[in-house]
Each structure stands twice: as C-alpha cells, then as structure tokens.
Amino acid sequence: MGHGISCARSSDELEFFRALQSGDMDAVQAALSVDRDLVHRSTPYGRVSPLHIASANGHLELLSMLLDQSVNPDLLNRHKQTPLMLAAMNGKIECVNKLLEAGANILMFDSLNGRTCLHHAAYYGHTDCLKAILSAAQSSPVAHSWGFARYVNLKDDNGATPLHLASRQGRAVSVHILLDNGSIVSSPTGSYGFPGSTPLHLAARGGWVDCVRELLAWGADRLHRDSAGRIPYAIALKRNHGACAALLNPSSAEPLVWPSPLKFISELNTDAKELLEAALMEANLEREKKILRGAKFSCPSPSLSEDGSEDNISEGSEAELCSICFERACTIEVHDCAHQMCAPCTLSLCCHSKPNPSTLCLTSPTCPFCRSTISKLVVAKQKTSDIITDESEKIISPRPSVRRLKSRSRNLSEGGGSSSFKGISSAVGSLSKMGRGSGRIADSADMADKLDHMLCT
C-alpha cells in the first residue's frame, strides 16, 4: 500500500529502512547516531519516508521518535499519500491517534483516486480509525473552514463518498458510523461502480445484507434509479442475491426509518440511543422474517433473542410496565414531563417512513400522555420504592410490578374484567405494534388523541 523500501540509495539506507519496517528501535537509533539526516530521507522510486513506514506498520514508538525530531506529519509519497492515510489503510489506530495529535491534516487527497484518510478508513473497514478521524474533523479547522457535513460527504475523483466505499465493500459497521455522522444515504456516484449508483445500489451489487439493512433503516430510497434506469432490487436480482432482492423489492413492506431529523434524537445519550436502536432493529427484523418466510434462502440477522418483547425484563421484575403496550417495562423517560414508555413504543412515536424532501426538519412529536413537546429522551430510572396514595381511603400501597400487571391484564383478557378495559387493552395493544411489518406509523397527534379517548372512557 505504498510503504515499500525498494531502491534505497545505499546499503546503510536500506538497513535503516529495514529496521524501520521491522520495528527495531535499537538498529534505528544506531543508524541515526551515525547519520541524523536519515530521518528526512525517502526511497527514490516510491518516495516512502521513514514516517510512512513506521505509520503503515504500526510502530508507535518509532513514529513518536520521528515526530519528536520535527518531522513533518504530512509528508507525501509517490502517490501523494500521507502517513495518516497509510495508518488508516492498515488499521493502526495508535498511529492514527498519534498523527492526529501531531496535527496531521485530514483534508489531504491522494493522486490515485483523490481520496482522503476518511475514504481509506471506510474502504478498509477500520472502524476505530474511522471514529478517530471523524472525531478530529469535528474539532479541527476542517469543521470551521469546510464544515463537518461537507467533509463526511466528500467525493473522490470517481464521485464516491466514504459511504459509497463502505457499502461496496460490505463494511456494515462503518456504514452505520458514517450514517450516524451525517452521510447522505442516497447520494449518487459519478463513475464509481456504475454511474448514478447510490450506496444501496452498491450494497445490492455485492449482496451485503447487513449493509442493505442499515441503509434502509436510515431511509435509503429503494426506487432510486442509476444512470441505466435500474433500481437496487433489479441489481440484486440480476446477481442472484436472493435475500437482498427480497428486502429491496418495492412491493415488500417498508422498514421503520431512524428518525434522525428530530433534534432530540440527535442529542440522545449513548444508553438511550442503544435502547432505541435495538428497538428499531427488532421491529425491522420482524419485517424481514415476514418477507423471507417460506423462501428457500435465509437472511443473516442481528443477534437478537427470539422473543424480544420483554425488553430483557424477567417475570419477577418490579420495573414499571409501559402504559401503552402493557407488554414491556418502561425504559425511556420523556423530558420535561417525566412520563415513561418502553423503547419500541417510543420509537413508534418518533419514527417516520420517509423524510420530507422539501424540508430537513420535522415537527417534534408530543408526549402521548400529556401532549407536551418532547425536548429530550433519557433512560428511565427504576422506581423501586414508588408509592401510590389513595386519598379517599387513606391507603398506601406500592406500585404494581410487571408480574402483577401482566397477570391482571391476562385475567381481564380472559373474561375476568369489564368490557371497557378489554377495549382499552385491545386498542393499546394494536398501538404498540405500529410499524411492525408495514413500516408506517400514525402521526403523534393521532396517537395522543387515541390515548386521550382510551384513558377517558
């Protein structure tokens, strides 16, 4: 990858470069004690510098020593590749961090395809390097001069963004990271792959089901056509990628889409985000099972339990039950009203099937219990000692647990309760299943209206 040591000018130089490549610190220091200028030499043909060799091979100690001697961190080899690019290509995260710390420029383009270090990290699927570069882009001068969103969507000489490269190579985790950082999900290429291809076209071409799943969950357009007028479904079908073709078939149910345009979604903390992402994956997995049921091929699926409806809450758990679906424990809390719901019901409230092409902003949904605007979502705190006081009879009792509420709900559904409660349970049950299979959900105001009606009757 541009870090060879061929054609050194002398035997001393050759030994020096070999010592760099093998990470022999003693031999390198011995050579430098004889000739200090060796740190500024490069191979005649490839113009590979000592810094390139140390970075590409992951020799952090050598790299630090060279940088301490005022070596430029942005030296270029024959293909105008920087040490940072080579470290990103080879997944040497410690060297990537050291070079970024030394001020390496993340906005350098090589001469092979006009790619940056971000392109290389995405292409080779080194997610830790990808995250480090994206983090640097948010705090470096690039964010002020170019803008972070523009940097993430930079195209190479063939019109490919980092997302195109990751999708074509089947790097599903890299695809997720890039989408989460603002990559445009349906951006067309120039000449890369096939003119006009979107990341979904490229993932379909390679048969990468995990990438297809990620792209669809972020709103990729299944009907977008490349320059030849082909949709991703046609490409997957032509290349005999049956599972991909089934998911991409325009006649199949659309998946739920991550509601990234919502402001409070972009501000989620890590724990709350993981809960909602798991709920999204579970809902779309149910959709996939229905689409692929009876098919002769199987679709690789994320590692989820067969029954994810309990939100990892056991029968004996004392966690508060979701008042919408009456099936799962409350895991998400709404601010500022502090009402709680389970993650799937929260997702159903926030999700949308397709973003509005005319505006990037969506009206923030309201809490289904009090209709106040949702400003923030956090992980719900367990109410282990929550007490309910009945003022009329002056009786104090603990809040019912998940087990007792489920038992009560089961008894009522079997005929032990009033008809009005049965109606509420039925309506709320159908509400909690919104989006499973169809990928479309009701407006949040409609949800609030239904809840108001149910809770008041």
CB 251 within 8 A of CB 212: no
Rounded average pLDDT over 356-371: 70
* Architecture of the domain spanning 319-384+399-457: 2-Layer Sandwich (3.30)
Q: What is the pLDDT of residues 198-210, one digit of tens each?
A: 999 999 999 999 9
Question: Where are the domains positioned within the chain?
Answer: 1-105, 319-384+399-457
Distances from the Cα of 323 to the Cαs of 247, 249, 339, 428, 430, in angstroms?
A: 33, 36, 10, 8, 13
Per-residue pLDDT band for 12 (boundaries 50, 70, 90) equals confident
Average pLDDT over residues 67-90: 94
Does the fold of domain 319-384+399-457 match that of domain 1-105? no
The share of the chain scoring above pLDDT 70, in percent, equals: 73
pTM (two decimals): 0.76
What mean pLDDT is predicted for residues 313-318? 45
Q: What pLDDT, on a 0 to 100 scale, did the predictor assign at position 387?
A: 45
Q: What is the DSSP letter of 321?
A: B
**pLDDT attached to residue 399:** 45
Segment 48-67 shows an average pLDDT of: 95
Provide the pLDDT for residue 85. Answer: 98
pLDDT > 90 in the chain, percent? 44
CA-to-CA distance for 193 and 165, rounded, in angstroms?
Answer: 9
Q: What is the pLDDT of residue 374?
A: 86
pLDDT of residue 300: 57
Query: CATH classification of 1-105 is 3.30.70.1900, yes or no?
Result: no
- pLDDT tens track for 148-198: 999 999 999 999 999 999 999 999 999 999 999 999 999 999 989 889 999
pLDDT at 9: 58
Helix, strand, coil % in the chain, rounded to nearest 5: 45, 5, 50
